[in-house]
Structure 1
Amino acid sequence: MYDLIVIGGGPAGLAAACAAWEKGLNRILIVERDKELGGILNQCIHNGFGLHYFKEELTGPEYAGRFIQMLKDTGVEVRLDTMVLTVTPDRQVHMVGRDTGYRIEEARAIILAMGCRERTRGAIAIPGQRPAGVLTAGAAQRYVNMEGWLPGRRVVILGSGDIGLIMARRMTLEGAQVLACVEVMPYSGGLNRNIVQCLHDYDIPLYLSHTVTDIRGRDRVEQVVVSQVDERRQPIPGTEMVFDCDTLLLSVGLIPENELTRQAGIAMDPRTNGAVVYENMETSLPGVFACGNVAHVHDLVDFVTAESQRAGRAAADYVLGGAVPDGPVLEVKNGDGVTYTVPQHIRPGRVAKNCDLFFRVNRICGDSQILVQSGDTLIARFPREHLAPGEMEHIVLPRVLLDRASDSITVSIQEVASK
């Protein structure tokens, strides 16, 4: 029996395993379905990683390499090219690997770190024909950066998430012509720095409140039709623009990879599409933890690292100290202007000093206040000059403030009236 099985060898799994080893666990297994560790970072050859954690600017492979090297200094066991099929409520992990065959391993604790996947054309029901040349931005990124293939020469990108923005720049640098980036919302879904560095710097137009309403082509994409949308995101007749292109890249959102989580009977949050977690990233199933993009989609890998280290340490505490009575539990609710919160529950008795709380807003806000209330009582207030849905927000709640709350706390946004 293992002390801990970590499912996923990307940035979340690596950080969690290293933290659990440092906390005293000896028998740790990482199960990774790919042929190498590192996860999505291996294809993210652009820089911008590690500014928070390492205090220097790294590429994705460099960031992953740092943690892979840390792992080599431990006794953590790794199984590559191995797919986990099922996680049971009694913490059995069913897996199949090329070298090991079908195996069932038991663990005292499990960390779910499977990451996320991209939404596809089918998920958003784009009308039109079904030619070659329609693919997700992440797939195109792998083709270009790892396989050495250029997917197309004349490109339209639907969605302004960070991967789509980065691929606009990448395709341009490889010699393709990116005709437009199209976003159905009235604001971009990516980080502002990526809008500037990947679109503005290369004179790539961004069409907000627009979407693709038709794909044309028999064997290969020949044209896409882009239309303006109204406030209900419905296409406006007469606003069509036709782009002659051979490739359509989709950057239309990420979905936490939670089939295993659901199979295990773990409570899910429909707002994040991830597991409901406590302050230490423990799920509703004792001894099973979730961290990284499988819990909620992050902007920065540095935040994934910090969250996963918290999960790794908590898993070690669970194994070494056993289950601890819960005590009072605060439910964390999203109020006006907030889409979701993570964690969804906080046990003040388990918080040593501070509790990290992450959330996203559902609209662009100027000068604002983040309000944390328990009933009618305001327990904390955090000023912000700017808030946007494309950027995850983070606040720290001291234990002393949590002790003032009753049975729940609500996080909401209040915009400051301009003078």
Structure 2
Amino acid sequence: MVDLVIIGGGPAGLAAACKAWESGLRDILILERDKELGGILNQCIHNGFGLHRFGFGEQLTGPEYAGRFIEMLKGTGVKVQLDTMVLEVTPDKKVHCVSKEYGYQIIEAKSIILGMGCRERTRGAIGTPGTRPAGVYTAGAAQRYVNMEGYLVGKRVLILGSGDIGLIMARRMTLEGAKVLACVEVMPYSGGLTRNIVQCLNDFDIPLYLSHTIVDIQGKDRVEKAIVAEIGPDRKPIPGTEMEFDVDTILLSVGLIPENELTKQAGIEMDPRTKGAIVYENMETSIPGVFACGNVVQVHDLVDFVSGESELAGAAAANYIQNGPVAEGRVLTVKPGADLGYTLPQRIRLEGVEKSTNVSFRVRRICGKSTILVKSGDTVIARFKRDRLAPGEMEHIALPRVLLDRAPMDEVTIEIEEA
């Protein structure tokens, strides 16, 4: 029996483990399927990590950011099993895993933190028409080839999707000597951070075509051409707007999906909006003592927020083991308004909120000067002003316990009122 098993040794798992140890827990085990800790950060060799956590004077790369937490972990007695694949998590908190060193293990845990991260959406998931030649990669796979394996995946590149990884790979491929012809985005706005659009596209004169998509991929053995067309409000290509690009590589940056096979298998309640687990204010799932944090719950824009959310889960897991479950009491359901994609957490137990609780969300469209309204029924219980809101940037608000206590109904809705 282990007090706390953490699945995943990326930024979420590392932060959760350090915080659980700091909170007094001494029997902690991290299970990581890769051969080293750090997760996706190991291939993110660009800087810009940790600006919120370590201050704007620090320009850390992904491996450096991971290294900070790995160093903190070395100062603890947290046990780590690398090269270990978790096969199943059962509702009674048994973790089935396999590794070369230990063989097949069934580890019983008092508490579990799920921190498996996310994966990329592939060409098959978006149904891009055309032949199936070599040279079509997800942006993350290309990033690993270039940054970790030392392979240049192509010389003439078109990027579909303007998520952060795609934008960063536009710059990376350019710096490695490739010609990035364009970045093509199906939505009328970019899905990435503004700073990445400026630093990765504008600074290198790479055009961004909004409301465009690839309508045909041509090539026998390797990609030879990509046909791009403008799309209308109905998401259908507009005839006569086609552009032809001579390319040998297409990178796909068309969204990330939380890695939740283990979560579903355990019977944990899922949110169809986030594609992750439904969680309470302390990141606890519908199974008591099982917590989820990081990109496995919601896809984050900044790793700093992953770390903060995961520390919340680590402290909550320690509290669960030391003091038992959160006391029963009033529970508020948090719902997104029309302009929001989702809200997290989806449920707030008032007994679990000491002073305030954070709610994060993403908007569905770009909004100018706006007010974020927190409503319970027709009653507005809180207002937050913002100069701008964008789908590529996660928003955070802190709701004080005193305001939540005043909610006339057991339901809270977050809405956007544009000026």
**Which residue of 1 is the match for residue 40 of structure 2?**
40
1:6-155 correspondence to structure 2 within 5 Å = 6-55=6-55, 56-155=58-157
Q: Deviations over 1:262-316 (max 9, x none)?
A: 0000000000000000000000000000000000000000000000000000000
Identity %: 74
Mapped to 1, the partners of 2:10 and 2:293 lie a distance apart of 11
**Which residue of 2 is the match for residue 162 of structure 1?**
164
Mapped to 2, the partners of 1:326 and 1:77 lie a distance apart of 33
Cα deviation, residue 348, structure 1? 1.3
**Which residue of 2 is the match for residue 279 of structure 1?**
281
Cα deviation, residue 237, structure 1? 1.3
**Which residue of 1 is the match for residue 292 of structure 2?**
290
**Which residue of 2 is the match for residue 249 of structure 1?**
251
Mapped to 2, the partners of 1:169 and 1:308 lie a distance apart of 30
Match among 298, 301, 325 for residue 299 of structure 1: 301
Q: Deviations over 1:77-135 (max 9, x none)?
A: 00000000000000000000111111000100000000000000000000100000001
Mapped to 2, the partners of 1:232 and 1:275 lie a distance apart of 31
Counterpart contact for 2:356–2:399, Cα < 8 Å: yes
1:228-377 correspondence to structure 2 within 5 Å = 228-377=230-379
- Residue 52 of structure 2: SS of its match in structure 1? coil
Runs of 4+ in structure 1 off by over 3 angstroms are none
- Residue 397 of structure 2: SS of its match in structure 1? strand
Say whether 1:199 aligns with 2:201. Answer: yes
Tell me the amino acid that sits aligned with residue 417 of structure 2: Q
Q: Deviations over 1:375-397 (max 9, x none)?
A: 01100000111011111000010
Q: Deviations over 1:154-181 (max 9, x none)?
A: 0000000000000000000000000000
Q: Deviations over 1:33-89 (max 9, x none)?
A: 000000000000000001111112210000000000000110000000000000000
Q: Deviations over 1:307-339 (max 9, x none)?
A: 000000000000011123321100001113111
Mapped to 2, the partners of 1:75 and 1:303 lie a distance apart of 25
Say whether 1:411 aligns with 2:401. Answer: no
**Which residue of 1 is the match for residue 179 of structure 2?**
177
Mapped to 2, the partners of 1:247 and 1:99 lie a distance apart of 39
Mapped to 1, the partners of 2:270 and 2:82 lie a distance apart of 28
Tell me the amino acid that sits aligned with residue 407 of structure 1: D
- Residue 164 of structure 1: SS of its match in structure 2? helix
Q: Deviations over 1:162-221 (max 9, x none)?
A: 000000000000000000000000000000000000000000000000000111011000
Mapped to 2, the partners of 1:346 and 1:232 lie a distance apart of 38
Counterpart contact for 2:327–2:351, Cα < 8 Å: no
Mapped to 1, the partners of 2:394 and 2:330 lie a distance apart of 28
- Residue 187 of structure 1: SS of its match in structure 2? coil
Mapped to 2, the partners of 1:326 and 1:157 lie a distance apart of 50
Tell me the amino acid that sits aligned with residue 414 of structure 2: V
Tell me the amino acid that sits aligned with residue 193 of structure 2: L
Q: TM-score, normalised by structure 1?
A: 0.99
Mapped to 2, the partners of 1:196 and 1:46 lie a distance apart of 15
Q: Unpaired segments of 5 or more residues in structure 1?
A: none
Q: TM-score, normalised by structure 2?
A: 0.99
Distance change in 2, residues 1:366/1:145 (3 Å): same
- Residue 198 of structure 1: SS of its match in structure 2? helix
Q: Unpaired segments of 5 or more residues in structure 2?
A: none
